[in-house]
């Protein structure tokens, strides 16, 4: 049975979205092509009809995941974004959370094509976060801070008090609810 062009595009999109979620949950090396295809509802053999390699899928799934984050932040005030990003809910939703927090370390060990996809996504995200009262430098500083806080929190056991403390201290400090200690 021949698949229409529209159906092939829909199948590819399903593979990319499924892969984006699985990669965020397990990392790039934590899931194989056959597992990705099975999760998307296809056979392993169909993979190469859509992608030249797993690296091509990684590149496309990274762009997909970052685009979803950008969609979530459109129209949010920076304080709303920080509050959401540094919440326990976002921390616990690795598969649907921020691709940069879940896979930034993995991306650093990938090809330049994949790093370029990440850089483009970061630029797009910064653009989405820039607001009249904040400079690009302020946005970069804030995003790097919350990204690092989320990564630290996720590195702790799920029920660790430290995991929650990292989120709350950083969230409160960024939002000005906790004064910076003086030396």
Task: Label each residue of 67-116 as H, E or C.
Answer: HHHHHHHCCCCHHHHHHHHCCHHHHHCCCCCCHHHHHHHHHCCCCHHHHH
CA 131, CA 135: separation in Å to the nearest integer? 8
- pLDDT > 90: what percent of the chain? 81
Q: Looking at residues 31-58, what average pLDDT do you find?
A: 94
Q: Can you give the pLDDT at residue 116?
A: 96
Q: Can you give the pLDDT at residue 177?
A: 85
Find all residues with CB under 8 Å of 114, minimum gap 6, and list them: 55, 58, 59, 62, 107
Phi-psi region of 3 (alpha: psi -120 to 50; beta: other; left: phi over 0): beta
CA 53, CA 19: separation in Å to the nearest integer? 13
- CATH at 40: 1.10.357.10
Total domains in the fold of the chain: 1
180 pLDDT tier (thresholds 50, 70, 90):
low
Domain that holds residue 76: 5-174
Residue 180 belongs to a domain? no
Give yes or no for residue 181 having a pLDDT over 70: no
CA 39, CA 18: separation in Å to the nearest integer? 7
CB 70 within 8 A of CB 128: yes
Q: Looking at residues 133-143, what average pLDDT do you find?
A: 91
Q: Looking at residues 118-123, what average pLDDT do you find?
A: 96
Give yes or no for residue 83 having a pLDDT over 90: yes
**Sign, Cα dihedral of 34, 14, 18, 66:** positive
- Three-state SS at 30: helix
Residue 183 belongs to a domain? no
- 183: enclosing H helix or E strand: none
CA 62, CA 102: separation in Å to the nearest integer? 11
Residue 182 belongs to a domain? no
Q: What is the pTM of this model?
A: 0.89
Q: What is the mean pLDDT of the chain?
A: 92
Q: Centre a 10 Å sphere on the Cβ of residue 81 and count the other Cβ atoms it contains.
A: 20
Tens digits of per-residue pLDDT, 59-72? 999 999 999 999 98
């Amino acid at each position: 049975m021949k698949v229409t062009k529209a159906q092939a595009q829909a199948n590819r999109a399903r593979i990319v979205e499924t892969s984006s979620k699985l990669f965020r949950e397990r990392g790039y090396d934590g899931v194989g092509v056959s597992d990705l295809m099975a999760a998307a509802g296809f056979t392993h053999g169909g993979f190469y009809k859509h992608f030249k390699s797993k690296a091509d899928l990684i590149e496309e799934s990274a762009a997909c995941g970052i685009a979803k984050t950008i969609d979530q932040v459109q129209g949010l005030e920076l304080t709303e974004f920080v509050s959401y990003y540094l919440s326990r809910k976002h921390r616990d939703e690795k598969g649907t959370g921020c691709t940069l927090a879940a896979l930034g370390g993995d991306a650093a060990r990938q090809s330049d094509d994949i790093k370029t996809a990440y850089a483009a996504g970061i630029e797009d995200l910064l653009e989405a976060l820039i607001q009249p009262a904040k400079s690009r430098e302020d946005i970069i500083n804030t995003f790097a801070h919350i990204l690092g806080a989320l990564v630290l929190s996720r590195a702790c056991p799920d029920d660790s008090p430290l995991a929650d403390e990292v989120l709350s201290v950083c969230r409160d400090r960024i939002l000005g609810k906790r004064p910076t200690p003086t030396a």
